[in-house]
Structure formats: C-alpha cells, structure tokens
Amino acid sequence: MAEAIDIRELNIRIEQQSQFVTNLTLGMNKVIVGQKHLIDSLLIGLLSDGHILLEGVPGLAKTLAIKTLAQLIDSDYSRIQFTPDLLPADVVGTQIYSQKDETFQVKKGPVFANFVLADEINRAPAKVQSALLEAMQEHQVTIGEHTFKLPNPFLVMATQNPIEQEGTYQLPEAQVDRFMLKVVIDYPTLEEEKLIIRENLAGQMPVVTPVVSKEEIIEARKVVNEVYIDEKIEQYIANIIFASRYPERYGLSNLKEMMTFGGSPRASIALAKAARAYAFIKHRGYVVPEDVRAVVHDVMRHRIGLSYEAEASNITSEEIVSQIINKVEVP
C-alpha cells in the first residue's frame, strides 16, 4: 500500500515537473511540420543525458530540428560542419604559442557548448570523429596537458546522410556506441508536405524564443532518474539485450548466423534511461512495457553487428530488433 501511495505522489509530481515538455513540443511544432518521432527522440536524449545520431536523406529538417531545440533552451549552441579536411583541433581546440608571454595558451574549440551539432558527421575521417569520443563519454576534453570540463548540460546531436558513399567515412563501432539513440527519419506524409510547401512559400519563418532554462533541464534530469522501474521491467530490458547476444537461448536460433555481435551493457543502460525519459514525456511516474517497446528500435538499431549472411539476405538490424521484441516475453 505504501508503495502505491509513493507512486501516486511521484505521478503527481512528475505531471507538474514535466509541463515544460509541452512547451518545448509546441515550440518545435511551430517550426517543424510533422516528424513527431524525431521531436520525441530529441527530448528523450535531452532528458536522459544521451547523445543522438540522426540519419535521413537530405532536406528532412534534421539540422533545423536540432537548431530549434537549442533555441528553445536558454543555452550555448555550436554547429560544426564536418568536412574531409577537418582536423581534431578544429573540434576540441588547440594550444597556441603566445610570443608576448612566451607560453602556450589553450584556445577552446566549438565543442565547448551545451548543444553541439555535428553536421554530416560521416564526411570527416575517423581521427576527427574520435576527437568527440572523450567529450561524449567523459564530458571533458584534454588539450595538451590540461583537461577541461564541458558545460552542463552537454549534448552532441549528429546528422548523417545514408545515401552517399562518395566522400563519406563510415562511423567506427566505438563511436556509434556512444550515441544513445540512432533515429532514422522518413519522408513527411502528403498532407504534411503540402503544409511545408505552403509555409515556405509564405516566406515567414516562425521565430522561437527560449521557453526553458539550462537549470530547469538539469533539474528535470534528476526527476527523470526518480521515474519508477519495476523489477519485471528491468528483467524485460535484460532479456531483450541478452536475446541480441544469445538468440538461441530465446528460441531465435535463426538469428545466430545473422549477427556478429549484440548490445553491450551500454545498450541496457541506454534502454532503461530512454524508457524512463519516454514515461516522463508522457507525464507518467512509472515505466510500462510500451515505453520500452517505443524506444527499443532507436536504442538498438546501431548496436547490432550484421553478418555477411544478413547483408546478403538484405536483413536489417531493424528486422532483427523486431523479431527479438516479438519473441521476448512481455511482463
């Protein structure tokens, strides 16, 4: 009984605390037509302190969505356009020799911001992509002998274009695993497309102003950590991850040949965090299995290694995740 009261209190508190989510969504909808899943995913990343990789063909408002979210939060925002000639120092910063003082001074790079948009991240070679690894995982940057903390909140949102092979570099597995979510964006519906044409021809881009402060986001993250996850849900999450590693244990022997590796412990942490944030967005104080199912594709699609057999049979990581979800018992 005591637990039921606690959950009820938590629910009321989370309903109050999560009101700003509605303001953020309304602000995003002013600028972005449709793309509800994209907006939800950006909010999940923001609330659970996870980086996001957006993949979609050009012109689907990936960059615009990230820019709008940064404008709605009173924070520092920087955009790095990844190009083949970019150097790691162009991202994190470098040491510059000062003749006057006869010392080296650190010049910080654009990664020192609350929101960092890594635009077309797969256009730069691996050495530049790996410059972001320490920043994304440890929230710090080492330049020479000095280590600098990054501002809080710190969020990397990267975009990549899946259709071009020329002049692009595939993201290394270690880099991809640092992204909490990989969101694949699709074309708008016919009605949305007409609205996009109409709004653009009118020529008046809506102006958005900040509706929430950095401090409120940091507070909200603490509240998200209080969202209740039952033991049965924890078991469900663990089963999903284990089914991606040992499919034969879950009656999915057909997948054994299709995968070279499954989700790491980072995947289970990300799945639990994302499910919590999704419950918070839905103004709920506890996680239900539907929350896990709503975020599992975004959390898992980049964490499953496809074998040569899978690629030859045109089987995608999406389909593998769907098969796992359909097979693993729901609590």
- This prediction has a pTM of 0.85
pLDDT at position 4: 52
The confidence score (pLDDT) of residue 7 equals 77
226-327 homologous superfamily: Magnesium chelatase subunit I, C-Terminal domain (1.10.8.80)
For the chain, the average pLDDT equals 85
- Tell me phi and psi for residue 143, to 5 degrees: -120, 115
pLDDT digit string, tens, across residues 154-163: 989 888 877 6
Say if residue 5's pLDDT is above 80: no
How many whole angstroms separate alpha carbon 280 and alpha carbon 273?
A: 11
pLDDT band at 68 (very low <50, low <70, confident <90, very high): confident
- Tens of pLDDT, residue by residue over 87-143, are 888 998 888 888 887 788 888 889 999 889 888 888 888 888 878 878 888 889 988
Nearest-angstrom CA–CA distance, 159 and 41: 13
pLDDT at 1 over 50: no
pLDDT above 60 (res 3)? no
**In 3-state terms, what secondary structure has residue 304?**
coil
**For residues 53 and 202, what is the distance between their CA atoms, to the nearest angstrom?**
31
Helix then strand then coil, in percent of the chain rounded to 5, is: 50, 20, 30
Q: Is 104 exposed, middle or buried (0-12, 13-18, 19+ CB in 10 A)?
A: middle
* pLDDT tens for each residue of 258-316: 888 888 888 999 999 999 999 988 888 889 999 999 999 999 988 888 888 888 888 88
- Of the two residues 173 and 278, the one the predictor is more confident about is 278
Q: Which residue has the tokens 């958005």?
A: 208
List CB contacts of 68: < 8 A, sequence separation 6 or more. Answer: 27, 28, 31, 32, 208
| Domain layout of the chain by residue ranges | 36-186, 226-327
pLDDT band at 70 (very low <50, low <70, confident <90, very high): confident
Please name which of 203, 226, 241, 245 lies closest in space to residue 287, comparing C-alpha atoms: 226
293: closest CA among 321, 317, 252, 254?
Answer: 321
Q: Tell me if the domain spanning 36-186 has CATH number 3.40.50.300.
A: yes
Contact indicator for 228, 8 with CB cutoff of 8 Å: no
